[in-house]
């Protein structure tokens, strides 16, 4: 009987030991505070080893929120971040810190209207490897702005061309927008910006471009905040080439235009400039538009019904306010080289429909957007620097003072 009781006591003791050991095992592999399984007898949850900001599944993330991948101990082995924007996917460049604990992107600002995918591999302090993938999406702005660029991409222009951006929304954060536009030249020359109000930004060198110069205009406006809640849309590059030099001087008193090509006098052409009551602007003007034929109506430029000509030939725009150098078939031929009768434009003899062998046709065929036309000895004031591409009428010191970046 004692033998049986002894065996029973030993069995109960053994069972108690098993239950106690099982409880210890259960406690050792218990739930971590966030519900993951960890501890000495199970791998830690990936989100405990690799921590990503913004969090997985985040939406409407603002551009200044920042992107970080971190580990509390151990080291990051690799981090790859892809951004998908406008159906285009690209890799986000970045680097792991020297201690291996943090990855951050080279560009701190996040893209807008984009999806980010983060893939990271890390080893914790105990040498266990974890991998984690997270995704988040960024804020989609309701309002965007763009800049219309002159000259057009891949064109050949005259040496007086000024790079001009006209924005469709008023720019409040002008310094940020200015920094996002880069104009470079080859051969290199200093190019500086100047703001005209809140919607126009022009760039030019101190003097006319040298013939053969290649100019690149890089618009890095994508996601730049131009005004509160209004972000840029463009990320593209324009290029143009500077052709030969042509500067034409219209003498309103002599009723002539001297055309200089590469420093040499090419021709002297008889003209008619603005009449006494409607004189032509003085100063340096740049050709911005060339039309084989166009309609000219005085009411569109502040006159009454003095004229409405539906088929003005060889029309070359010099200012935004409506100054043209154009063919004229309706005036008596004696006015060309003899008197000024126009409403502010410069007229060259032409025929109805435009003639190739007329003075107007000859000049039109030898002109480029970006060529310079200078008017002297007129009874009007000098054209304003923001009227067309009149920036050459501003000295270099004042031009440079027009930057928003101080």
The full set of domain ranges for the chain reads 46-138, 143-243, 246-389
Percent share of the chain, pLDDT over 90: 83
Residue 37 has pLDDT above 60, yes or no: no
Least confident of 113-127, 265-279, 295-309: 295-309
Q: Is 326 a catalytic site residue?
A: yes
DSSP state of 362: H
Distance in angstroms (rounded) separating the CA atoms of residues 382 and 387: 10
Residue 249 has pLDDT above 80, yes or no: yes
Both tokens assigned to 40: 């000495």
Hey, which residues does 37 pair with through a beta bridge? 31
Give the pLDDT of residue 5: 46
The catalytically annotated residue of 194, 314, 326, 343 is: 326
Say how many C-beta atoms besides its own lie within 10 A of residue 348's C-beta: 25
CATH 3.40.50.300 fits 246-389, yes or no: no
CATH 2.60.40.3780 fits 46-138, yes or no: yes
Give the pLDDT of residue 16: 40
Give the pLDDT of residue 4: 40
- Return the higher-pLDDT residue of 384 and 63: 384
Query: For the segment 311-347, what is each residue's pLDDT rounded down to a tens digit?
Result: 999 999 999 999 999 999 999 999 999 999 999 999 9
Give the pLDDT of residue 60: 96
Mean pLDDT, residues 102-107 taken together: 97
Mean pLDDT, residues 301-305 taken together: 69
Residue 27 has pLDDT above 80, yes or no: no
Distance in angstroms (rounded) separating the CA atoms of residues 81 and 79: 7
Give the pLDDT of residue 42: 61
Residue 22 has pLDDT above 70, yes or no: no
Q: What is the pTM of this model?
A: 0.81
Give the pLDDT of residue 305: 67
- What's the pLDDT band for 46 if we cut at 50, 70, 90? confident
Relative to beta strand 155-157, strand 235-242 is: parallel
Query: For the segment 174-186, what is each residue's pLDDT rounded down to a tens digit?
Result: 999 999 999 999 9
Query: For the segment 159-171, what is each residue's pLDDT rounded down to a tens digit?
Result: 999 999 999 999 9
Mean pLDDT, residues 205-220 taken together: 98
- Return the higher-pLDDT residue of 43 and 98: 98
Mean pLDDT, residues 350-379 taken together: 97
Distance in angstroms (rounded) separating the CA atoms of residues 273 and 283: 14
Q: Is 31 a catalytic site residue?
A: no
Mean pLDDT, residues 392-398 taken together: 98
Q: What is the mean pLDDT of the chain?
A: 90
Domains 143-243 and 246-389 share a fold: no
Q: At the top level of CATH, which class does the domain 143-243 belong to?
A: mainly beta
Mean pLDDT, residues 210-233 taken together: 96
The catalytically annotated residue of 194, 314, 343, 345 is: 345
- Return the higher-pLDDT residue of 73 and 38: 73
Give the pLDDT of residue 47: 86
Residue 287 has pLDDT above 60, yes or no: yes
């Amino acid at each position: 009987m004692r033998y049986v009781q002894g065996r029973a006591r030993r069995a109960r003791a053994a069972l108690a030991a098993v239950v106690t050991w099982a409880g210890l095992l259960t406690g050792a592999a218990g739930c971590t505070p966030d519900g993951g399984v960890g501890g000495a007898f199970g791998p830690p949850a990936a989100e405990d080893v690799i921590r990503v900001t913004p969090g997985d599944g985040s939406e409407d993330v603002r551009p200044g929120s920042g992107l970080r991948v971190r580990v509390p101990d151990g080291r990051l082995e690799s981090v790859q971040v892809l951004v998908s924007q406008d159906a285009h996917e690209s890799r986000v460049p970045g680097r792991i810190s020297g201690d291996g604990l943090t990855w951050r992107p080279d560009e701190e600002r996040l893209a807008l209207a984009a999806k980010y995918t983060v893939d990271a591999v890390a080893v914790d302090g105990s040498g266990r490897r974890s991998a984690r993938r997270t995704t988040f999406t960024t804020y989609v702005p309701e309002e965007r702005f763009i800049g219309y660029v002159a000259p057009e991409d891949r064109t050949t222009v005259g040496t007086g061309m000024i790079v001009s951006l006209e924005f469709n929304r008023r720019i409040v954060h002008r310094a940020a927008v200015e920094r996002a536009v880069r104009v470079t030249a080859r051969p290199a020359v200093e190019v500086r910006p100047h703001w005209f109000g809140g919607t126009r930004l022009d760039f030019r060198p101190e003097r006319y471009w040298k013939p053969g110069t290649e100019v690149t205009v890089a618009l890095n406006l994508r996601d730049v905040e131009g005004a509160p809640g209004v972000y840029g849309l463009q990320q593209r590059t324009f290029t143009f080439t500077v052709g030969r030099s042509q500067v034409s001087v219209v003498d309103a008193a002599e009723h002539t235009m001297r055309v200089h090509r590469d420093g040499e006098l090419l021709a002297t052409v008889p003209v008619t400039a603005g009449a006494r009551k409607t004189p032509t602007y003085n100063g340096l003007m740049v050709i911005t538009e060339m039309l084989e034929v166009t309609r000219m109506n005085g009411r569109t430029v502040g006159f009454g019904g003095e004229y409405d000509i539906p088929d003005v030939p060889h029309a070359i725009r010099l200012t935004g306010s409506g100054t043209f150098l154009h063919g004229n078939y309706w005036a008596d031929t004696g006015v060309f080289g003899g008197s000024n009768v126009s409403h502010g434009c410069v007229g060259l003899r032409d025929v109805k429909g435009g003639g190739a062998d007329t003075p107007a046709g000859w000049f039109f065929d030898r002109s480029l957007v970006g060529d310079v036309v200078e008017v002297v000895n007129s009874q009007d004031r000098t054209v304003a620097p923001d009227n067309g591409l009149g920036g050459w009428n501003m000295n270099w010191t004042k031009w440079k003072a027009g930057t928003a970046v101080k």
